[in-house]
């Protein structure tokens, strides 16, 4: 991956870079897998008579069982010790999840699709609008979250895994995505 370059045009800023063919294929596979996870979650939503009448989409009220989806779709409210809401936290999260999860899944899917639509088919140079660059940042972050769960990445790493570790390559991909995202954020902010 080449570093990102910001170019000012009459139609606003554009963000240019290039991907090798294997990088484009990898990114495409990762995004497609993540969309599949979101689709599974959405399809597991219970039917709702009110939704059928009003057209207002509702989602699952239960948190996902899958740890990756729990990371992509966390609870809305996390209590502190001695929280005044006490036992009502679960019902609050269930209600908020039911109301907002469909829109969150849609937003994640739209960003992922924008990324897919702008990846060069066989690698090569490409250019993003500011809107597409923000979609890339969002979608790459979601991919990093899914890999982070698999790798059990926390504040303390791991920074490296032994070469013979079965997930060593996954950590390399996670770190590559981190650099891709960081450089795009910096160029979007005008700092590169």
Query: pLDDT (tens digit, 9 = 90+) per residue, 32-59?
Result: 999 999 999 998 887 777 677 777 778 8
Residues 6+ apart with CB under 8 A from 147: 30, 153, 170, 173, 174, 177
What is the per-residue pLDDT for 1?
78
Tokens at residue 21, please?
A: 């063919």
Residues linked to residue 16 through DSSP beta bridges, in sequence order: 5, 127
Strand order in the sheet with 5-9: 5-9, 12-19, 124-128
d(CA 100, CA 180): 29
- What is the 3-state composition of the chain as percent helix, strand, coil, each rounded to the nearest 5? 60, 10, 30
- Both tokens of 70, joined, read 């729990």
- In this structure, are residues 34 and 112 in contact, taking their beta carbons and an 8 Å threshold? yes
Residue 82, pLDDT score:
67
Instruction: Check residue 89 and give its pLDDT.
Output: 78
Q: What is the pLDDT of residues 168-180, one digit of tens each?
A: 788 889 999 999 9
Give Cα 73 to chain centroid, integer Å. 10
Which pLDDT tens digit goes with each residue over 13-34?
999 999 999 999 999 999 999 9
Name the residue with tokens 């982070």.
148
Q: What's the confidence (pLDDT) of residue 105?
A: 96
pLDDT band, very low/low/confident/very high, at 147 (cuts 50, 70, 90): very high
Evaluate whether 116 touches 109 at the Cβ level (below 8 Å).
Answer: no
**CA–CA separation, 126 and 16 (whole Å):** 6
What pTM does this model have?
0.86
Angle at 33 between CA 29 and CA 34, to 5 degrees: 120
Q: How far apart are CA 177 and CA 29, in angstroms?
A: 13
Range of lowest pLDDT (23-27, 63-67, 158-162, 188-192): 158-162
Residue 95 has what pLDDT? Answer: 87
Angle at 15 between CA 9 and CA 18, to 5 degrees: 130
């Amino acid at each position: 991956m080449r570093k990102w370059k910001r170019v000012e045009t009459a139609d606003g800023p554009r963000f240019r870079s290039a991907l090798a063919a294997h990088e484009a294929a990898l990114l495409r596979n990762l995004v497609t897998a993540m969309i599949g996870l979101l689709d599974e979650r959405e399809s597991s939503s219970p039917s709702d008579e009110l939704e059928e009448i009003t057209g207002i989409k509702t989602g699952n009220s239960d948190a996902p069982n899958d740890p990756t989806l729990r990371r992509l779709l966390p609870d809305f409210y996390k209590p502190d010790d001695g929280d005044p809401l006490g036992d009502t936290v679960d019902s609050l999260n269930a209600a908020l999840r039911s109301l907002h999860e469909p829109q969150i899944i849609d937003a994640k899917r739209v960003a992922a699709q924008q990324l897919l639509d702008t990846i060069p088919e066989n690698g090569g140079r490409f250019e993003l609008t500011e809107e597409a660059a923000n979609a890339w940042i969002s979608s790459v972050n979601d991919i990093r979250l899914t890999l982070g769960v698999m790798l059990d990445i926390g504040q303390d790493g791991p920074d490296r895994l032994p070469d013979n570790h079965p997930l060593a390559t996954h950590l390399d991909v996670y770190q590559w995505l981190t650099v891709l995202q960081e450089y795009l954020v910096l160029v979007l902010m005008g700092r590169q």
